[in-house]
Amino acid sequence: MKKMALSFAVVSLLLGACSNDTISKKDEVIQKDTKEKSMIPRTAVSKDYYRTVIPLKEQKVINTANITTNSKLDLAEYENGLMNIAKEQFDTENHVLQLNQYIPQKLVDELVAKVKAPVLTNIIEQDYFGKQNSNEL
């Protein structure tokens, strides 16, 4: 039985290491006003989801507010709900999504640190950009 489990684990690892090279890897390069370069993938996961600006940055703001307030909100469900509302205004074909890039961490820390009258429980920032043409935001 142990040999069979070990064999299964080895086969799983070997097959997991195989890649699927049939996916198109053409990306658009976007030059922002800053020196940082970003890309927007040409293909989306599905027409129901937004393409995202790459590179994705760590979302420290959400963790800061959530840990400080001991909130029990399901942040993933909350974020998906906001995205579904946004689809009514920003169609997924002509807009891209960038998460948590513009609210400064210092401002969030100040708002969360208020002990007498806490203002925030959680922050989710979703920035939607319209595409002017196929290569620019």
- Tell me if the pTM is above 0.85: no
pLDDT at 22: 47
Q: Catalogue the long-range contacts made by 46-51 (C-beta closer than 8 Å, 24 or more residues apart).
A: 47/92, 47/93, 48/92, 49/92, 50/83, 50/90, 50/92, 50/95, 50/96, 50/97, 50/128, 51/92, 51/96, 51/97
How do residues 51-76 score in pLDDT, each as one tens digit? 666 665 666 666 666 666 666 777 77
Q: Taking the chain (137 residues) in consecutive chunks of 10 residues, what is each chunk's mean pLDDT?
A: 63 55 48 52 61 64 65 77 89 80 79 69 78 62
Domain spans of the chain, in order of start: 24-130
